[in-house]
Amino acid sequence: MRNKSNFKETKPRVEFTMFCNNCANETKHIKLFSYLHPDTIEYFSKNSDGSVKDSFWSIHILTYIFAECLGCETPSVSIDEYFPDNIDSIGIRAFAKEIEDKGKSEKYNILSHMQFPHKQIKPLPKWCKELPETLMLLIVETYNAFNMDSNCLAIMGVRAIIDELANIKVGDIGGFDKKLDSLKELGHISTLQYELLNTVIDAGNASIHRGYRPSTEDVMSCLDVIEHILSQDVILKAIKRVKDNTPKRKKL
């Protein structure tokens, strides 16, 4: 049994639901410790030419809740941002008590929520360690971007993964058109996969050149396409191993 932190002795016992990456689900957590951090933040609006139109500074409060999953004991930190306008010193004390007792405020709305470790929207495929290093590193960074809600970076990463895959399979022979044609002609991808990759590459191009901000569902679909194609090589390698390990039939 590992040594428990003294944080667990804090009263009252506060339980709430949050996502546990280890359980891969929303689970009951217990609050170990909480901390408030008032800070200033700059808000601004922009003109159509991209210049800053106006800006103002305001106070917001970040609440850090250190918690532990009651199912598997994995710790995590939840950071909520509040914007309690016109709050005075009495209001701050009441707010702090509410956070201490309940883990969140019912009087003020949460403006943003972060969690560390980040919620794994799409976990890294276990087989990606079997891929060439350059490809594996691109996949790791792309999944990290996606799991941190950076969808534009993630879709650009997907485009880069396809580029690197083509470089490995057919060489750096030119633009995406040539690379996809060659991948299909040499049998690395099917006609259907050729069409899917074209769509995925265009989404990446649109994000780079046309200001496209893809939804989480759209990036998820693009990653599904990539996973399906990349996993082929891993499956082929595994099946070759099965073939090599299978005793040959004796000739009669």
Sites of contact with Zn ion (CB under 5 A)? 20, 22-23, 69, 71-72, 74
Least Å distance, CB 116 to Zn ion, is 15
Nearer to Zn ion, 27 or 193 (CB): 27
Least Å distance, CB 21 to Zn ion, is 8
Half-sphere exposure of 197 (CA within 13 A, CB side): 27
Least Å distance, CB 148 to Zn ion, is 20
Nearer to Zn ion, 20 or 183 (CB): 20
- With contact defined as beta carbons under 8 Å apart, do 158 and 138 qualify? no
- With contact defined as beta carbons under 8 Å apart, do 20 and 72 qualify? yes
Q: Cα-Cα-Cα-Cα dihedral of 224, 228, 233, 239, to 10°?
A: 130
Nearer to Zn ion, 29 or 179 (CB): 29
Nearer to Zn ion, 69 or 166 (CB): 69
- With contact defined as beta carbons under 8 Å apart, do 18 and 78 qualify? yes
Q: Is 108 exposed, middle or buried (0-12, 13-18, 19+ CB in 10 A)?
A: middle
Q: Is 6 exposed, middle or buried (0-12, 13-18, 19+ CB in 10 A)?
A: exposed
Nearer to Zn ion, 72 or 235 (CB): 72
Least Å distance, CB 4 to Zn ion, is 16
Nearer to Zn ion, 30 or 92 (CB): 30
Least Å distance, CB 220 to Zn ion, is 23
- With contact defined as beta carbons under 8 Å apart, do 137 and 162 qualify? no
Least Å distance, CB 120 to Zn ion, is 12
Using CA atoms, how far apart are residues 222 and 85, in angstroms rounded to an integer? 41
- With contact defined as beta carbons under 8 Å apart, do 79 and 62 qualify? yes
| Residue from 110, 14, 25 nearest 66 by CA | 14
